[in-house]
């Protein structure tokens, strides 16, 4: 689902302001069992340069709910959001 929304937001940047809150809502319910989904959400947020997502991404990373091999570590993510 996140990948599909990422493609939509990539083709229609004007929709990103509606997509990002939904992705953040899903990420806020992170769990280790959703590692792949969470990682995809973070990748889409990075593609969108959604700087408002930094806190949520950091919390998910700290909880071990995002695969750093897919998205990078916090320092890499932070530099992409700037």
Degrees (nearest 5) of the Cα angle 68, 80, 45? 70
Residue 68: per-residue pLDDT: 94
Q: How many structural domains compose the chain?
A: 1
Residue 64: per-residue pLDDT: 93
Burial of 68 from C-beta contacts in 10 A (0-12 / 13-18 / 19+):
middle
Tell me the average pLDDT of the chain. Answer: 93
pLDDT per position as a tens digit, 38-68: 999 999 999 999 999 999 999 999 999 999 9
Q: Say if residue 30's pLDDT is above 80.
A: no
Domain range for 22 is: 2-81
Distance, in Å, from the CA atom of 9 to the CA atom of 33, rounded to the nearest integer, reads: 26
33: confidence class by pLDDT, cuts 50, 70, 90? confident
Structural contact between residues 50 and 20, judged by C-beta atoms closer than 8 angstroms: yes
The reported pTM is: 0.92
């Amino acid at each position: 689902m996140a990948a599909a929304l990422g493609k939509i937001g990539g083709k229609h940047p004007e929709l990103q302001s509606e997509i990002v809150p939904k992705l953040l809502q899903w990420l806020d319910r992170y769990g280790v069992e959703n590692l792949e989904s969470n990682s995809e959400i973070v990748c889409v947020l990075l593609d969108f340069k959604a700087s408002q997502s930094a806190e949520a991404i950091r919390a998910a990373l700290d909880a071990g709910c995002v695969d750093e091999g897919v998205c990078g570590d916090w320092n890499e993510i932070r530099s992409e959001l700037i």
